[in-house]
């Protein structure tokens, strides 16, 4: 069967979806930071995804298949869901108690570094190249600068907060690559919903054990706004966009979002959150972003993949 190029309208749709995702994820870092003034981190994460799952189910029931075709897909969704939503987000929310929203976003810019390494071993058409390895080394040097200075200026908890964000980012990258490698016959909304459901199980148990009954939390108007902003635009909408884009772009190109969102997060933190950044933090951040830029410099720009590519199906 002959393959035809994707229509121009669909290319525009991909660009618009990618830009929207960048703006949403640039702003969520500050929403997390502000919400943590009133809500405990683990329960905050869990409640965010409870609301997001309800929204995703509401828009999916009667429109798309709710269950995967193969039983084995549940294992993949469970594994990637725990990595993406339980491990990654629990570590991130805890870390933002001790690390600024802007620096948190910069540290999670390491996602494409881990993504390209995992893709090299799992996806045959995305091999490592020398320039990408050099970029990864530069970016990791920036991470080392940030974490070492966090230890000096913020103390031990700030240092471990930085390490936790990077560790969670590695789990998120591995999750993305696993989803790319295996076709799941399920709509993007339900892929995200099932991952959140599986990730919610440990989050809810841990949150209730550590934080107690949510009824007794400090429920301010600001906390409620941050929770629903993170749950609906920041989770339901964002992951719909992410999984809609995943079969249309390579994992490496899609993860360029990690190069775009950190400066956006720094901007939101400075403009709306009153965050300031020392020279060392900006220098470390610049190294991280320069390394990520090197990873993508001579790679084809983010593009729309035609329907003959092997990619994650979408509904």
Q: What is the mean pLDDT of residues 261-271?
A: 86
**Is 50 exceeded by the pLDDT of residue 313?**
no
User: Would the CA dihedral through 28, 30, 33, 34 be positive or negative?
Assistant: negative
**Rounded CA separation 79/84 (Å):** 9
pTM, rounded to two decimals: 0.81
Q: Looking at the predicted structure, is the pLDDT value of residue 103 above 60?
A: yes
188: tokens are 């993007």
Q: What is the pLDDT of residue 116?
A: 83
User: Is the distance from CB of 25 to CB of 234 less than 8 angstroms?
Assistant: yes
CB atoms under 10 Å from CB of 9, counted, come to 8
* Three state DSSP letters for the chain: CCCCCCCHHHHHHHHHHHHHHHHHHHHHHHHHHHHCCCCCHHHHHHHHHHHHHHHHHHHHCCCCCCCCCCCHHHHHHHHHHHHHHHHHHHHHHHHCCCCCHHHHHHHHHHHHHHHHHHHHHHCCCCCCCHHHHHHHHHHHHHHHHHHHHHHHHHCHHHHHHHHHHHHHHHHHHHHHHHHHHCCCCCCHHHHHHHHHHHHHHHHHHHHHHHHCCHHHCCCCHHHHHHHHHHHHHHHHHHHHHHHHHHHHCCHHHHCCHHHHHHHHHHHHHHHCCCCCCCHHHHHHHHHHHHHHHHHHCCCCCCCCCCCCCCCCCCC
Residue range 69-78, pLDDT digits in tens: 888 899 999 9
Specify burial of residue 28 (Cβ count, 10 A radius: 0-12, 13-18, 19+). buried
pLDDT greater at residue 249 or residue 105: 105
- What is the C-alpha to C-alpha distance for residues 280 and 127, in angstroms, rounded to an integer? 33
Q: What is the mean pLDDT of residues 289-314?
A: 51
What is the model's pLDDT at position 175?
92
Which residues have C-beta within 8 Å of that of residue 270, sequence separation ≥ 6?
Answer: 102, 276, 277
- Tokens 């469970």 correspond to what residue? 78
Higher pLDDT, 151 or 77: 77
> Cα 205 to the chain's mean position, in Å?
23
Rounded to 10 degrees, the C-alpha dihedral 76/82/85/87 comes to -140
Predicted local distance difference test score (pLDDT) of residue 281? 78
Confidence of residue 298 (pLDDT cuts 50, 70, 90): low
Question: In the predicted model, what is the mean pLDDT of residues 73-100?
Answer: 94
More confident call, 22 vs 149: 22
Q: In the predicted model, is pLDDT for residue 81 greater than 70? A: yes
């Amino acid at each position: 069967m002959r393959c035809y190029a994707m229509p121009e309208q669909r290319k525009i749709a991909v660009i618009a979806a990618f830009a929207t995702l960048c703006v949403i994820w640039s702003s969520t870092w500050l929403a997390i930071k502000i919400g943590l003034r009133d809500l405990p981190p683990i329960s905050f994460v869990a409640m965010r995804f409870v609301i997001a799952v309800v929204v995703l189910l509401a828009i999916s029931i009667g429109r798309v298949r709710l269950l995967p075709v193969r039983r084995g897909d549940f294992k993949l969704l469970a594994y990637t869901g725990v990595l993406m939503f339980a491990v990654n987000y629990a570590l991130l929310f805890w870390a933002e108690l001790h690390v600024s929203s802007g620096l948190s976003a910069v540290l999670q810019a390491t996602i494409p570094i881990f993504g390209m390494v995992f893709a090299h071993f799992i996806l045959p058409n995305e091999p490592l190249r020398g320039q990408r390895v050099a970029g990864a080394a530069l970016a990791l040097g920036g991470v080392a600068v940030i974490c070492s200075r966090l230890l000096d200026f913020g103390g031990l908890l700030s240092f471990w907060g930085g390490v936790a964000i990077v560790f969670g980012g590695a789990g998120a990258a591995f999750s993305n690559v696993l989803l790319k490698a295996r076709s799941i016959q399920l709509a993007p909304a339900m892929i995200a919903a099932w991952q959140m459901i599986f990730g919610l199980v440990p989050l809810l148990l841990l949150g209730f054990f550590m934080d107690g009954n949510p009824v007794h939390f400090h429920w301010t108007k600001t906390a409620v706004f941050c929770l629903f902003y993170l749950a609906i635009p920041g989770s339901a909408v964002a992951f719909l966009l992410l999984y809609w884009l995943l079969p249309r772009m390579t994992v490496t190109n899609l993860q360029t979002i990690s190069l775009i969102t950190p400066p956006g997060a720094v901007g939101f933190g400075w403009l709306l959150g009153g965050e300031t950044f020392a020279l060392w933090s900006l220098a470390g951040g610049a190294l991280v972003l320069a390394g990520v830029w090197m990873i993508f410099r001579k790679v084809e720009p983010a593009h729309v993949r035609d329907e003959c590519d092997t990619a994650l199906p979408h509904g």
